[in-house]
């Protein structure tokens, strides 16, 4: 049973920031599974992430309307997605790797959970999409002084927010990053995930 979308919880504030790593761990494992099945989502954002009503909420990715199969289709080049979450290469209107674009969107989702705002919006003019796009293209973001984020987490986000896709951290690398691995639930470990995928006859290479 699905309880609410994650964006509704973020509005509440502190409780989500405390559990941002837990939600991010689930998001990365879910998106990683999609990628292993050769599906890139292309519109990852808080509004497309649902939580069930359990005490330790399980995260579910939804709305695959913009998703694309790398087996059935050529590499995408259409600029789809939500502006605040969109990767620089998607805006170029040239062919791009949808999986690496998903990594960027996961990074934006993490930032929003931790900070409560979008990384590339101009705080003085948040509704100006043109400015948002300019800041995305130049990877111009800051973390407010009042928000405490560990150096490990900052370093992870810095490796996600890279405008050259080939130099951006991959899903596989995120899953071995020290910040990601801290307090990782047993069911999200590589061993547990491999057993889960094997049950579906789809064992990924971690």
Catalytic residue set: 43
| Distance set, CA 165 to CA 52, 133, 169, 192, 194 (Å) | 33, 17, 8, 29, 27
Cα(188)–Cα(195) distance, integer angstroms? 11
C-alpha span between 168 and 160 (Å, rounded): 6
Neighbours of 65 (CB within 10 A): 10
End-to-end CA distance of the chain: 30
DSSP string covering 134-200: HHHHTT-----TTS---HHHHHHHHHHS-SSGGGSPPHHHHTTSHHHHTT--GGGSHHHHHHHHHHT
> What's the rounded Cα separation, in Å, for the pair 59 and 113?
14
Cα-atom radius of gyration of the chain, to the nearest Å? 16
């Amino acid at each position: 049973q699905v309880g609410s979308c994650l964006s509704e919880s973020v509005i509440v504030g502190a409780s989500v920031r405390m559990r941002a790593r837990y939600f991010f761990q689930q998001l990365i494992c879910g998106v990683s599974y999609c990628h292993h099945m050769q599906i890139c989502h292309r519109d990852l954002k808080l509004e497309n992430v649902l939580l069930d009503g359990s005490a330790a909420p399980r995260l579910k990715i939804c709305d695959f309307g913009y998703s694309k199969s790398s087996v059935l289709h050529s590499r995408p080049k259409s600029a789809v997605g939500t502006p605040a979450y969109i990767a620089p290469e998607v805006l170029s209107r040239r062919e791009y790797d949808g999986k690496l674009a998903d990594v960027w969107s996961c990074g934006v989702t993490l930032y929003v959970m931790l900070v409560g705002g979008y990384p590339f919006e101009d705080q003085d003019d948040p509704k100006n999409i043109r400015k948002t796009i300019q800041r995305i293209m130049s990877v111009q973001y800051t973390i407010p002084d009042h928000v405490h984020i560990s150096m490990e987490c900052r370093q992870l986000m810095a490796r996600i927010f890279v405008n050259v896709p080939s130099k951006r951290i991959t899903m596989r690398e995120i899953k071995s990053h020290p910040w990601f691995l801290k307090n990782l639930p047993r069911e999200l470990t590589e061993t547990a995930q491999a057993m889960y995928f094997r049950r579906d006859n789809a064992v990924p290479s971690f």
